[in-house]
Amino acid sequence: MAVVAVPTRPRVLTIIPTYNEAENIAPLVESLRALDLGLDILIVDDNSPDGTGVIADRLRQTFSDVHVIHRSAKLGLGTAYTAGFRFALEHGFDRVVTMDADFSHNPRYLPSLIELTDQADVAIGSRYVPGGGVRLWGFNRRLLSRGANLFARSLLGLKVNDCTAGFRCYRSEVLKAIDPTSIRADGYSYLIEMLWRVLQAGFTVVETPIMFTDRRRGASKISRQEIIKAGATVMRLAFRASNGAVQPSRLPDPEHPL
């Protein structure tokens, strides 16, 4: 009788940066674990004054699939992702998801997001493809987001509709090739530079529609300074591209074939 090989499920790590998310982090972890995807969860907390880190430690003590990185201060979203990516590669995860802690990224989209990386290198939960959208944003916030995406796409030639989306799933091969520790941008502009690096290296990116719902609890982390930094990042990358300073296309890695 022939033995049928059962495909192994990839090891997935979900990175959740936190700062003052005491109201959200435990319910989010519960929602993620209820999906029964066998994923691990990494909370990267920036010394939240509201006690998020304490709650994260309790979750780690309760669940073996929850991990925590404590940082000494509010060091920024970009460096939190970098710390999470380093943890993922050091511990041999195959897929790495990034998402917000405030339920603006609904966990129900995770299965399809992860599944898409069976065919593509990076999958993005997109607000700006057919079927996607935003809830509970005012006109100014919508205009700002649309404008930021149009600005990044136009200047950098990015063939992605939602360049500033933080809900993503990466194959580990992408992170090994990109080296996130070398990314200069921080905050939300980190997402733009990361996407630019991915596309410049020749990796494939797909988008799947999501409905983004603005946070109901806690305060938004978006500030005018973040907007200015994002614009400066786009200008810097556009200048690099115009001078030919881009990453070469990816070469096949015999040790990590896609």
Tell me what pLDDT residue 235 has. 75
**Is the overall model pTM greater than 0.75, yes or no?**
yes
- 167 or 3: whose pLDDT is higher? 167
Tell me the pLDDT band of 29, cut-offs 50, 70 and 90: very high
- 155 or 104: whose pLDDT is higher? 104
How far apart, in whole angstroms, are the C-alpha atoms of residue 216 and residue 32? 18
Closest to 185 in 3D by CA, of 177, 193, 195, 176: 193
Average pLDDT, the chain: 86
Tell me the pLDDT band of 220, cut-offs 50, 70 and 90: low
**Which tens digits make up the pLDDT trace of 36-93?**
999 999 999 999 999 999 999 999 999 999 999 999 999 989 999 999 999 999 999 9
How far apart, in whole angstroms, are the C-alpha atoms of residue 234 and residue 222? 17
E strand or H helix at 189: helix 189-200
How far apart, in whole angstroms, are the C-alpha atoms of residue 229 and residue 187? 8
Tell me what pLDDT residue 98 has. 98
Tell me what pLDDT residue 243 has. 63
Which superfamily does CATH assign the domain made up of 12-242 to? Spore Coat Polysaccharide Biosynthesis Protein SpsA; Chain A (3.90.550.10)
> At residue 5, does pLDDT exceed 60?
no
Domain ranges of the chain: 12-242
Tell me the pLDDT band of 237, cut-offs 50, 70 and 90: confident
Tell me what pLDDT residue 227 has. 67
How far apart, in whole angstroms, are the C-alpha atoms of residue 234 and residue 154? 10
